[in-house]
Amino acid sequence: MNRPAEMISPASARIQGGVFGPILEGIRKTMLPYQWKVLNDEIPGIEKSHCIENFRIAAGISQGEFYGYVFQDSDLGKWLEAAAYCLMAHPDPELEAEADAAVELLAAAQQPDGYLNTYFTCTDLTKRFTNLRDCHELYCAGHLLEGAVAYYEATGKSRVLEVLRRYIDYIADFFGPGEGQCHGYPGHPEIELALCRLYDLTREEKYLRLAKYFIDERGKQPSYYEEEQRKLSREFFANGAYGLKYFQSHLPVRRQTKMEGHAVRALYLASGMADVALRTEDEALFRACKTLFDNVTRQRMYLTGGVGSTYIGEAFTFDYDLPGDRAYAETCASVALVFFAARMLQGDLRGKYADAMEAALYNTCLAGMSMDMKRYFYVNPLTVFPEADEKDPGKQHVAPERKPWLACACCPPNLGRLLSSLPRYAVSVSENLAAVHLYVSGTYRIRAGERPVSLRIDTDYPRSGEIAITVSGEADLALHLPEWVHRYTLKKNGKPAEYREKDGYLYLSGPFSEDCLQMELELTPERVYANARVRDCAMQAAVRMGPVVYCAEEADNGDSLHLLRLPEKVPLRVIPEKLNGFSLLEAPGWRLEAADDRLYSTEHSVRRKAAVIRFIPYCLWANRGKGEMRVFLYESGE
């Protein structure tokens, strides 16, 4: 295994302009202050969070009872992490003061022995770590730790790191292979990633060892979870009939070849596996990650980068099962897919990983929030028919409109931490190479091994295919050539550049000195077809331009979108009108309508009328009122 590439710190980048400049500013100025108010229950009329109040009760500052899910603490961890990334990029005394308050609350809620979890502190501390499978303690610890590491890195303030290290040291004593230690592992992976980050920061082997222990212990027989449930005198609860697959613990992880069970768990686990493999040079483990990556992206991923085909257990089902209307495609799962793909790029620089990041980021992740960043989707279907979502209980997980908060509030702060840390996923560095995976406009002052590299990316990508990169430094440069590109040009200082194309990247040799690279990726709207094995897409085509998947909405096209017919050959046109800076598309097509009221008849009883079909980016749907939406439209021959 080659020495893996490293993610860059968000502190080394300034995201400006383009699609993400305003989004990052919005996160700092709007989303995080809003979410802080939500966590403090200061916004009336929305789902109660009680997250901060749980900490206050655990700390003895407030009286009351714990409220919310067992994983309510994680919301604060993610919020703190996102706040840290924002502070890296931009000073913000108000935000920092809120974060400091959160830190003090964490410290106050910590038990004398280091334990830190409000659910068990508020209910029954003797039950701690007795139900690893269901109670999310290690998951919450992971999120708090990621927040702590990021906050320390952002501010240099060690307080929160000390608090979390005490807790993690407690955990590292409690869990492990030793006699008298607990041989369990988290029901919901996440701490594995956090432990690797703590290891990167401290270089203390025990943190990496614990992450590796959690990974390797998982799925051994006899099953820790089965034993645990027996001790709890509980029947083994086979979540949605998945059994141990639901928890990715049906097999040791190295022998798992399919992404199974709860989608977010599966992708956090895979990310943790990759993290450990990269740090321990464990090629076999990294190979297992590759297998899982290929399975999820080649058999189980929606065109929009969404994953998780059923709401029952928020889970994967089986290969090629990708129903658009019943999709779960949780926002968090696409966030997790970005995490996983970015880690794969560290060990295996191939375009397919960056392609998956693009699909997830530009479609499902961005769709997860409203244009004003104050309303959120948890579930991101590809076909929406509000009447069905209301009246078919099998579709009641589908909300046709974003909500200001969610009882299970994992997604909004997860979006916050992903987007505020975008540089981690946009660029990676290794000994002599800086690699650009996502064309995120901004400046990057980074080091490829010992060599400083400065990059300035100016682009409106993916709203435009023009990307200008000004680069200085001795290292080589690799630029992602997305899978969707049919034609492109790459110039250096106005002349055709010299480069080598390999595995979805264009390699340019350094040194560079304020060299200006001009990349033009030809953006053309095109049809996309799912593999014929995908039953739910039969006879249908989707429309994509660049990495941006489009959809037809009721607001433009009327209702009954299943009656639109997109002719196979007609051109898809870019129209002058835009939405949030994104181009809109149109195509001349047809609209069918029922010619009579008979439920069944022996002839096609439809009328066909010419109709111009308008498409908007999927990530912008449901910003103009409630209505139908479809990504895949039926085709007609002419």
**Where in the sequence numbering do the catalytic residues fall?**
314, 410
**CA 155 to mean position of chain CA atoms:** 25
Give yes or no for residue 571 binding its own copies (CB under 8 A).
no
427 contacts: CB under 8 Å, gap ≥ 6: 8, 13, 434, 435, 436, 437, 438, 444, 446, 455
Residue 461 half-sphere exposure toward CB, CA atoms < 13 A = 29
Interaction pattern, residues 476-495, with its own copies; x per rule: CB under 8 A: --------x-----------
Residue 618 half-sphere exposure toward CB, CA atoms < 13 A = 33
Stretch that binds its own copies, among 31-39, 333-341, 413-421, 602-610 (CB under 8 A): 602-610
The residue from 493, 606, 612, 625 that contacts its own copies (CB under 8 A) is 606
The residue from 187, 313, 510, 617 that contacts its own copies (CB under 8 A) is 313
Site residues for its own copies, 53-112, by CB under 8 A, read none
Shorter beta-carbon distance to its own copies: residue 118 or 297: 297
Give yes or no for residue 391 binding its own copies (CB under 8 A).
yes
Shorter beta-carbon distance to its own copies: residue 495 or 604: 604
| Residue 504 beta carbon to its own copies: minimum distance, rounded to whole angstroms | 14
CB-based contact 188:225 (threshold 8 Å): no
Shorter beta-carbon distance to its own copies: residue 90 or 527: 527
Give yes or no for residue 2 binding its own copies (CB under 8 A).
no
Which residues, listed in sequence order, are joined to residue 459 by a DSSP beta bridge? Answer: 467
In 3D, which of 612, 610, 569, 572 has the Cα closest to residue 593? 610
CB-based contact 535:603 (threshold 8 Å): no
Residues in the chain: 638
SS3 471: strand
| Residue 295 beta carbon to its own copies: minimum distance, rounded to whole angstroms | 11
Give yes or no for residue 497 binding its own copies (CB under 8 A).
no
Give yes or no for residue 297 binding its own copies (CB under 8 A).
yes
Give yes or no for residue 604 binding its own copies (CB under 8 A).
yes
In 3D, which of 89, 29, 188 has the Cα closest to residue 426? 89
Shorter beta-carbon distance to its own copies: residue 299 or 428: 299
Beta strands, E only, 330-377: none
Shorter beta-carbon distance to its own copies: residue 34 or 385: 385
| Residue 261 beta carbon to its own copies: minimum distance, rounded to whole angstroms | 11
Stretch that binds its own copies, among 190-198, 411-419, 597-605, 615-623 (CB under 8 A): 597-605
Taking the C-alpha atoms of residue 622 and residue 514, their distance in angstroms, rounded to an integer, is: 43
| Residue 408 beta carbon to its own copies: minimum distance, rounded to whole angstroms | 18
The residue from 533, 569, 581, 612 that contacts its own copies (CB under 8 A) is 533
SS3 53: helix
Taking the C-alpha atoms of residue 16 and residue 24, their distance in angstroms, rounded to an integer, is: 8
The residue from 301, 333, 455, 506 that contacts its own copies (CB under 8 A) is 301
630 contacts: CB under 8 Å, gap ≥ 6: 324, 382, 383, 384, 551, 552, 561, 562, 564
Q: For residue 623, what is the DSSP state?
A: S
Structure tokens, 151: 């906050």
Q: What are phi and psi of 204, to 5 degrees?
A: -85, 120
| Residue 606 beta carbon to its own copies: minimum distance, rounded to whole angstroms | 5
Site residues for its own copies, 196-225, by CB under 8 A, read none
Nearest-5° Cα angle at 391, 387 to 395: 90
CB-based contact 86:420 (threshold 8 Å): yes
Shorter beta-carbon distance to its own copies: residue 89 or 541: 541
Interaction pattern, residues 228-267, with its own copies; x per rule: CB under 8 A: ------------xxx-------------------------
Taking the C-alpha atoms of residue 172 and residue 178, their distance in angstroms, rounded to an integer, is: 11
Structure tokens, 490: 């790459």
| Residue 609 beta carbon to its own copies: minimum distance, rounded to whole angstroms | 12
| Residue 337 beta carbon to its own copies: minimum distance, rounded to whole angstroms | 14
SS3 435: strand
| Residue 363 beta carbon to its own copies: minimum distance, rounded to whole angstroms | 12
As a whole number of Å, the end-to-end CA separation of the chain is 52
Amino acid at 411: C
47 contacts: CB under 8 Å, gap ≥ 6: 403, 404, 405, 406, 407, 409
Give yes or no for residue 415 binding its own copies (CB under 8 A).
no
Interaction pattern, residues 539-558, with its own copies; x per rule: CB under 8 A: x-------------------
In 3D, which of 621, 85, 542 has the Cα closest to residue 366? 621
Shorter beta-carbon distance to its own copies: residue 300 or 417: 300
How many residues contact its own copies, by CB under 8 A?
A: 58
Interaction pattern, residues 134-173, with its own copies; x per rule: CB under 8 A: ----------------------------------------
Give yes or no for residue 393 binding its own copies (CB under 8 A).
yes
Give yes or no for residue 339 binding its own copies (CB under 8 A).
no
* Other CB atoms within 10 Å distance of the CB of residue 435: 23
Stretch that binds its own copies, among 110-118, 183-191, 220-228, 524-532 (CB under 8 A): 524-532
The residue from 134, 529, 574, 590 that contacts its own copies (CB under 8 A) is 529
Q: For residue 491, what is the DSSP state?
A: E
| Residue 300 beta carbon to its own copies: minimum distance, rounded to whole angstroms | 9
Give yes or no for residue 598 binding its own copies (CB under 8 A).
yes
| Residue 528 beta carbon to its own copies: minimum distance, rounded to whole angstroms | 5
| Residue 532 beta carbon to its own copies: minimum distance, rounded to whole angstroms | 4
Give yes or no for residue 560 binding its own copies (CB under 8 A).
yes
Taking the C-alpha atoms of residue 457 and residue 577, their distance in angstroms, rounded to an integer, is: 26
**Virtual CA dihedral for 565, 566, 570, 572, nearest 10 degrees?**
140
Residues forming the site for its own copies (CB under 8 A) = 240-242, 297-299, 301, 303, 309-313, 315, 317-318, 321, 326, 385, 387-388, 391-394, 396, 484, 526-535, 538-539, 560, 562-563, 592-595, 597-606, 634, 637
